Amino acid sequence: MRTEDDAVLHAFVEGRRTALFRSAYLLCGDRHEAEDLVQSTLVKVVLGGRHHGRLDNIEAYARKTLVNTFIAARRRFWRREQAYGELPDRVGHEPDTDTGLAVRAALARLTAKQRAVLVLRYWDDLSVEATAELLGMRENTVKSHTARGLAALRAEMAEELV
């Protein structure tokens, strides 16, 4: 039984790591932080899977763990500071279009919960009901976070494009 569960967990980690990374990147806006977030999430998923025996819906458990880990990290005091030793001479990530950069910058200025709702609804293509269940919110709360988040994004993008 243990080897079957381990095989399922291993297959999940191998198959969904990239998708989780994309969602994490949209949540936090930083490649290295997204990698750390995915790593923490996968550790929690594997330990949770081994501890609970069998996870009925490992995909939903992983998404919820990812979002909860992200939101919890944003609450920490040390996240408010950003110390830099030496700045790099060149950009550390792949080139991106101006619009993509503007959208990610605008997304980064939203609250953590608004960002989580928008990423789950529009990037992971979850329904209002699935998003509410995943975040432990009422459906109306998800709808209001969606509306406010989209309004803020539109306002930011209008300023960027002018």
pLDDT at 61 over 90: no
Predicted TM-score (pTM) of the model is 0.56
The two tokens of residue 114 are 């608004």
Report residue 46: phi and psi, to 5°: -65, -45
- pLDDT > 70: percent of the chain: 80
Average pLDDT over residues 81-91: 62
pLDDT band at 140 (very low <50, low <70, confident <90, very high): very high
Place of tokens 């709360």: 141
Contact 115, 27 (CB under 8 A): yes
C-alpha span between 146 and 119 (Å, rounded): 10
Average pLDDT over residues 117-128: 91
Burial class of residue 52 (count of CB atoms within 10 Å of its CB; 0-12, 13-18, 19+): exposed
pLDDT surpasses 90 at 151? yes
Give the model's pLDDT for residue 82.
60
Give residue 51's pLDDT band: very low, low, confident or very high (50, 70, 90): low
* CA pair distance 130, 155, nearest whole angstrom: 27
Q: Which residues contact 136 (CB under 8 A, 6 or more apart)?
A: none
Inter-axis angle of helices 31-52 and 2-28, nearest 10: 150
